[in-house]
């Protein structure tokens, strides 16, 4: 088993985060690869990420910078593989070939880079007009929508400023060029059955992409967000705040232990049955890792069991940092609170048949996702003409007082 290492403080410097990542088992394995100038590239990539974080003007987002990357690198470094004997622990990083570890590390470090940048020049040429940010009502939504498709141009642009020689690492020659790492990183926005035919024969890359996606799904614990800062400063809109709060509902750090994960949930103070759909969706969020089981088998790292505590209903334990949630705008009562929280989940976690195609819905059923009571969302959306978010929030607050 790898030696336990304390994650850097979220407000720590670039140097703390860089030391943590470079000293991790994943990076140590990756540094054995044959990619030219790889160590320099990783060090400069971390510097570039730090600079983008410092200049990012969207502080209401949950963290996508170095603390998030430290968490993912640490989670992958601690990933234990199933062992038939039950005695000797085998780590994922020990099983990966150095070249595979190198591609995985770059994919992890770049997967959310687009969330820290807002430059439309990085859009693919085919989308430069249709996704013009000036046509969007808010820049945050545009960043979320485009953060993956902007990645190929973004990474090449920023790394060229460190060294023109880095461009050669992305050229389409050899087996381990970094264009593959970027493709692996971009895969986290889609499900495995949506990755396309060009992925069908490259089972190694499918497995690496699944590792990135699963680690990202598991990075849901309270270390991801400073809830007290949220309650004091109330940055962002209702959706941003709800995203922050979601991370306070998972009490433990979720890591893969011998092919299994255990998730302990807690509830906000003064909430009850109205909040039940939120925990149904949150449990479903973690069950989504089971959708990657086939791909994880390609790298002999399956996640076969998801233990959820509690497995149904509302947790008995309260989240200590969420005693003043009703002081936030748009969270006046439990009905409105539940409405805002449900809006944060992807349609797959909600098991929303209105927004999920038939193929994906069948996959969700096979992973035993529970049905979610969406009546709070449906009541706020119910109307011939679309309601604004403000109107939906008002409807949810009024509904909670009736």
Same domain for 197 and 275, yes or no, is: no
315: tokens are: 């947790």
| Higher pLDDT among residues 2 and 201, named by residue | 201
Q: Which of 219, 235, 254 is at the close of a domain?
A: 219
Say yes or no: 191 and 288 in one domain.
Answer: no
Show the domain range for 182: 1-219
275 with 267: CB under 8 angstroms? yes
Whether cis (ω within 30° of 0) applies to the bond prior to 263 is: no
Residues 253, 329, single domain; the answer is yes
* Residue 182 shares a structural domain with residue 212: yes
Phi-psi region of 236 (alpha: psi -120 to 50; beta: other; left: phi over 0): left
Q: Note whether 233 and 326 are same-domain residues.
A: yes
Are 300 and 193 part of one and the same domain? no
What confidence tier does 256 reach under pLDDT thresholds 50, 70, 90?
Answer: very high
H/E element, 295 = helix 293-297
Same domain, 241 and 207: no
Same domain, 108 and 247: no
* Per-residue model confidence (pLDDT) at position 144: 81
- The domain boundary residue, chosen from 204, 219, 234: 219
Number of domains in the chain: 2
Judge if 235 and 196 occupy the same domain. no
Question: Which of 196, 219, 242 is where one domain is finished?
Answer: 219
Residue 8, Cα to own-chain centre: how many angstroms? Answer: 19
Q: Over the stretch 4-51, which tens digit does the pLDDT of each residue have?
A: 677 776 556 788 999 999 999 999 999 999 999 999 999 999 999 999
Q: What is the mean pLDDT of residues 230-258?
A: 80
Q: Categorize the per-residue pLDDT at 401 as very low, low, confident or very high, splitting at 50, 70 and 90.
A: low
Same domain, 215 and 228: no
**Do 205 and 227 fall into the same domain?**
no
Cβ contacts of residue 255 below 8 Å, gap of 6+? 75, 78, 79, 80, 218, 261
DSSP 197-247: GGGTT-HHHHHHHHHHHHHHHH--SGGG--HHHHHHH--S-HHHHHHHHHG
pLDDT per position as a tens digit, 266-294 = 999 999 999 999 999 999 999 999 999 99
- Whether 157 has a pLDDT exceeding 50, the answer reads yes
Residues 275, 357, single domain; the answer is: yes
pTM: 0.89
Alpha-carbon span 98 to 102, nearest angstrom: 6
């Amino acid at each position: 088993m790898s030696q336990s290492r304390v994650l850097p403080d979220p407000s720590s410097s670039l140097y703390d985060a860089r030391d943590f990542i470079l000293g991790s088992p994943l990076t140590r394995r990756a540094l054995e690869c044959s990619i030219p100038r790889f160590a320099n590239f990783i060090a400069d990539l971390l510097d570039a990420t730090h600079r983008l974080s410092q200049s990012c003007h969207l502080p209401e987002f949950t963290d996508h910078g170095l603390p998030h990357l430290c968490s993912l690198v640490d989670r992958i470094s601690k990933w234990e593989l199933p062992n038939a004997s039950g005695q000797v622990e085998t780590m994922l990083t020990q099983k990966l070939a150095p070249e595979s570890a190198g591609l995985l590390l770059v994919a992890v470090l770049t997967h959310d880079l687009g969330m820290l940048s807002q430059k439309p020049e990085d859009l693919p040429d085919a989308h430069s007009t249709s996704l013009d940010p000036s046509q969007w009502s808010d820049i945050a939504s545009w960043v979320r929508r485009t953060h993956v498709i902007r990645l190929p141009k973004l990474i090449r642009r920023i790394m060229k400023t460190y060294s023109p020689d880095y461009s050669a690492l992305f050229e389409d020659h050899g087996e381990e060029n970094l264009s593959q790492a970027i493709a692996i990183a971009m895969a986290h926005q889609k499900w495995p059955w949506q990755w396309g035919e060009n992925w069908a024969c490259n089972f190694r890359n499918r497995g690496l992409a699944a590792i990135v996606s699963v680690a990202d799904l598991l990075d849901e614990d309270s270390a991801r967000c400073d809830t007290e800062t949220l309650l004091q400063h109330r940055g962002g809109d209702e959706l941003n705040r709800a995203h922050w709060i979601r991370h306070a509902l998972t009490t433990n750090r979720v890591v893969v232990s011998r092919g299994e994960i255990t998730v302990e949930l807690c509830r906000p103070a003064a909430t009850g049955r109205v909040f039940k759909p939120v925990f149904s969706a949150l449990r479903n969020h973690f069950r989504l890792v089971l959708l990657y089981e086939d791909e994880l088998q390609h790298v002999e790292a399956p996640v076969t069991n998801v233990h959820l505590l509690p497995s149904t209903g509302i947790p008995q334990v309260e989240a200590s940092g969420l005693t003043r949630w009703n002081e936030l705008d748009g969270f006046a009562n439990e009905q409105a609170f539940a409405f805002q929280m449900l809006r944060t989940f992807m349609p797959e976690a909600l098991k929303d048949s209105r927004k999920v195609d038939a193929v994906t819905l069948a996959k969700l059923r096979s992973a035993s996702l529970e049905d979610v009571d969406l009546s709070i969302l449906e009541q706020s959306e119910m109307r011939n003409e679309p309601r604004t978010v403000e109107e939906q929030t008002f409807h949810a607050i009024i509904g909670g007082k009736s």
